[in-house]
Every structure is written in C-alpha cells, then in structure tokens.
C-alpha cells in the first residue's frame, strides 16, 4: 500500500472537488485508483484539511458498534462510514460488518493479549558438583561474557554521565 504526503492528498482532493473536473479524470491524471481519489475528496468535503491528519488508533468494541449502528440508522455505506468516522483503513468497516453478521458483537472485540512467555533459564540449575566438565566450561564462558557485557554497559553509562556533567559545567575561560 502506498503512503502519500498530506499536501499531495490535499491537492488531489481539492482538484477532485472542483465541479469542472471528474474524479476519474483526476485519478487518471495522477496515476491513482479512482476509489482512492473519491475517498480523499469525500474526506476533504466532510472534514477539510483536518481529515488528512494521521490519527493512529485502535478501535474498541463500543466504537465499532457505534459505527455499525449509525450505518443502519442512516443507511450509510461502509465507504461513507469510513469517511464520516475518519477510519484510516478503507476496508475496516466492511470487515466489521461481516464479522458482526457472522458471529455477533463479541466477534468485534479485540483478542485478549497473549499470555506472557516464560523466560529462558540462562544458568544451569544443577549444582556445580553434578555438572560435567563441558557444562562447567559453558557456564564459565557464559558468566565471562555476562561480566564483560555488564562492565561495558557500566563504562558506557559512566561515559554518558561524564559527558552530561561536562555540558552542565560552564568553562572558566
């Protein structure tokens, strides 16, 4: 999916809203899909420039039901509802309709978050006396690497703090 700059969308939408030009002609001129230009023009007519401001968001069950209810009450199409409610995904409302028709309101609820995955054990749980020579060597190598990493991290933090202190102190020139 292509992403277009807001100024380009505005230019195309304004051009499509002029009564002297057809939406299809504007779409052809800019090498765009007719439906895209039609959606941009409708957004511009309904919301003006603010309609093109990006609003990344997820939609909860209540909002989805509100959209579907308004569509039923006012006889809106999915495309009109998408424009009216400023929903970024052009196909979202159609998917919501199909889900609702197939399985009801619960199908529109976001899925529950996955359960947290258990962390891997990094160290052996065996006592050293029960470990083989290879296991002991692997653990020693792991612990050395961990120590080196922590020392390097500590050095970087101290270096960063020293740089911040140097910035705060005015020079005595």
Structure tokens at 149: 């990493």
Mean pLDDT of the chain: 85
User: Mind listing the pLDDT tens digit for each residue in 146-168?
Assistant: 999 999 999 999 999 998 888 77
User: Mind listing the pLDDT tens digit for each residue in 25-44?
Assistant: 888 888 898 888 888 888 88
- Verify that 15 and 45 share a domain, yes or no: yes
- Verify that 143 and 159 share a domain, yes or no: yes
Quote the percentage of the chain above a pLDDT of 90: 26
Residue that is last in its domain, among 22, 37, 53: 53
Tell me what pLDDT residue 51 has. Answer: 78
- Domain assignment present for 115: no
Q: Are 97 and 105 contacting, i.e. CB atoms less than 8 angstroms apart?
A: no
Say which residue the tokens 């891997």 belong to: 120
Other Cβ atoms closer than 10 A to 38 = 19
- Domain assignment present for 173: no
Domain count across the chain:
3
- Verify that 14 and 62 share a domain, yes or no: no
User: Mind listing the pLDDT tens digit for each residue in 4-16?
Assistant: 888 888 888 888 8
**Is residue 113 over pLDDT 80?**
yes
- Domain assignment present for 12: yes
Domain that holds residue 19: 1-53
- Domain assignment present for 172: no
Prediction pTM value = 0.51
Q: Are 46 and 57 contacting, i.e. CB atoms less than 8 angstroms apart?
A: no
- Domain assignment present for 23: yes
- Domain assignment present for 139: yes
């Amino acid at each position: 999916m292509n992403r277009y700059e807001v100024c380009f969308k505005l230019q195309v939408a304004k051009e499509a809203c002029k009564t002297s030009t057809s939406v299809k002609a504007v779409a052809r001129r800019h090498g765009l899909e007719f439906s895209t230009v039609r959606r941009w023009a409708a957004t511009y007519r309904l919301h003006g420039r603010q309609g093109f401001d990006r609003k990344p968001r997820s939609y909860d069950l209540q909002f989805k039901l509100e959209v579907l209810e308004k569509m039923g009450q006012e006889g809106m199409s999915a495309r009109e509802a998408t424009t009216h409610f400023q929903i970024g995904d052009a196909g979202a409302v159609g998917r919501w309709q199909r889900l609702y028709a197939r399985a009801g309101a619960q199908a529109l609820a976001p899925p529950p978050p996955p359960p947290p995955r258990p962390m891997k054990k990094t160290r052996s749980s065996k006592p050293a006396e029960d470990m083989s020579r290879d296991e002991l060597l692997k653990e020693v190598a792991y612990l050395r690497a961990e120590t080196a990493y922590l020392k390097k991290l500590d050095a970087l933090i101290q270096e960063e703090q020293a740089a911040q202190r140097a910035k705060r102190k005015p020079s005595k020139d």
